[in-house]
Amino acid sequence: MSGDLYITRVRPMGEAATNLTVRDGRIVAYGEAAPPGVEVIDGGDAILIPGLVEAHTHLDKTLLGMGWYRNEVGPRLIDKIENERAEKKRLGIDPARQSARQAILSVSHGSTAIRSHVDVDTEVGLSGIEGVLRTRETYRDIVDIEIVAFPQSGMLIRPGTVELMEQALRLGAHVIGGLDPSAIDRDPKGHLDVIFRLAERFGVPVDVHLHEPAELGAFSMELIIERTRALGMQGQVTISHAFCLGMADQDYVANLIDALAEAKVHILTTAPASRPVPPVKRLVEAGVVVAAGSDGVRDTWGPYGNADMLERAVLVGMRNNFRRDDEVALALDTCTTGGARLMGLEDYGLAPGCKADLVLLDGETLAEAVVSRAPRRVVIKGGRVVARNGRSLVEVA
């Protein structure tokens, strides 16, 4: 398997059909004759898009393949956090095995890169980080996995957690995570100062879960923007969820969007039906990078999710009242280019020279391909076919 391919009759982003030459895992040219002796794939007029990007999930905690989990958890955020810590022990949720299961499911749906938040707390310690690092290594040829050290149970309220976060970064976590600095740790300045200090020391990006509503979330968001500017971390900081951007006070939201754009802070949305959400089009028009993610897939938090980023594009579209074809394309962008920019993926896209991380979709137009979310015809990672007709060619080791 050399990473050389020749694909006939594909339509890049739904445009006119052409042939594509891939060499050494990279796109070389469109419209050339087939080089001799190379594996040929008949594209069959499928639409060609770059690999889907799952920019926010939790690979360590999925219950995929473990039987149905009967969810009887309480309504508050803290109920879910405490329930999960207890169930991790009771059910024996193995982060290495579970992350492999979800990563392979993602690949079957066309994701070629994943950013996963991974729990770090004083009970599981670094076992989640170690497990997902193992999966990352085992499956490196079929998917890129980036790991965020994530203080799911709070950080300052649980002494010992900061030290574990630091160890997670030494072990190889790529990003420092945070969680509701006001609502969970109840010390926004302390929480964010610790995270940004670690980011500076280890030279890693920041990705903060911010579920805090309205003005409370806006306050935390302003503190994150301030620190991004002060440390010169423009382009290195993501705010996940950012429900506060869906609040009613439009003047306040407009000011926040301007500040996010100016500080180059990225926004990650899961477009949940149950909460106010960031306005994707306004953010993108202001120049903010917006990406999308599944968040938890079938875990103790909730029964939903299938790790399909085309389905996520549909949810982003529906939640943002996108109807026009160009709007559906924008929703898809959050699951491709937006995610790639958020993760800082190099040489991403369909241009010659880019890595051959590619998906072939059935559909007359790009919008039709998104909304019908048919099984992916072919998924290619680094010039090698890794899934066909919705099935991964690699199984859990």
Report in angstroms how near the CB of residue 35 gets to Zn ion at its nearest.
44
Minimum gap (Å) between residue 74 Cβ and Zn ion: 19
CA 236 to chain centre: 15
Contact stretch for Zn ion (CB under 5 A) within 166-174, 290-298, 329-337, 349-357? 290-298
CA-only gyration radius of the chain, Å: 21
Q: What is the dihedral of CA 362, 367, 370, 372, to 10 degrees?
A: -70
- In this structure, the strands spanning 40-50 and 358-361 are antiparallel
Stretch that binds Zn ion, among 21-29, 65-73, 154-162, 288-296 (CB under 5 A): 288-296
Q: In the beta sheet, which residues pair with residue 30?
A: 20
Near Zn ion by CB under 5 A, which window of 135-143, 291-299, 307-315, 335-343?
A: 291-299
DSSP-based three-state secondary structure for 181: coil
Closest distance to Zn ion from the beta carbon of 42 (Å): 39
Question: What is the Cα–Cα distance from 168 to 202, expressed in whole angstroms?
Answer: 11
Residue 48: φ, ψ to 5°:
-105, 125
The nearest distance, CB 209 to Zn ion, in angstroms, is 5
Give 84 or 295: the residue with its C-beta nearer to Zn ion.
Answer: 295
Q: Which residues pair with 53 in a beta bridge?
A: 113
Q: In the bound complex, which residue of the shown chain has the CB atom lying closest to Zn ion?
A: 295
Q: Could you tell me the smallest distance in angstroms from the CB atom of residue 390 to Zn ion?
A: 25
Contact 21, 10 (CB under 8 A): no
Q: Does 295 bind Zn ion (CB under 5 A)?
A: yes
CA 21/CA 33 separation, integer angstroms: 8
Q: What is the contact mask toward Zn ion in residues 248 to 287, using x (rule: CB under 5 A)?
A: ----------------------------------------
C-beta pairs of 88-94 under 8 Å, 24+ apart in sequence: 88/61, 88/123, 88/124, 89/123, 91/63, 91/66, 93/60, 93/61, 93/63, 93/66, 94/131
**Contacting range for Zn ion; rule: CB under 5 A; set: 76-84, 164-172, 293-301, 388-396:** 293-301
Q: Does 299 bind Zn ion (CB under 5 A)?
A: no
Binding to Zn ion (CB under 5 A) within 11-70 occurs at none
Residue closer to Zn ion (CB basis): 54 or 295:
295
Q: What angle do CA 78, 79, 85 make, to 5 degrees?
A: 90
How many chain residues are in contact with Zn ion, going by CB under 5 A? 1
Q: How far is the CB of 293 from Zn ion (least distance, A)?
A: 7
What is the nearest approach in angstroms of Zn ion to the Cβ of residue 237?
16
Q: At 209, which helix (H) or strand (E)?
A: strand 206-210
Nearer to Zn ion, 11 or 80 (CB): 80
Q: Which is nearer to Zn ion, 4 or 295 (CB)?
A: 295
**Min separation Cβ 348 and Zn ion, Å:** 23
**By CB under 5 A, which span of 130-138, 295-303, 363-371, 373-381 interacts with Zn ion?**
295-303
Distance between CA 36 and CA 34 in Å, rounded?
6
Answer for the pair 56, 146: CB distance below 8 angstroms, yes or no: no
The answer to whether 373 touches 363, Cβ cutoff 8 Å, is no
Q: Give least dist CB 56 to Zn ion, A.
A: 6
Nearer to Zn ion, 166 or 295 (CB): 295
Query: Would you count residue 144 as binding Zn ion (CB under 5 A)?
Result: no
Stretch that binds Zn ion, among 200-208, 217-225, 289-297, 324-332 (CB under 5 A): 289-297
Helix residue ranges, H only, the chain: 77-91, 95-108, 127-138, 161-171, 188-202, 214-230, 250-263, 280-285, 309-319, 325-334, 337-343, 366-372
Q: Interface residues with Zn ion (CB under 5 A)?
A: 295
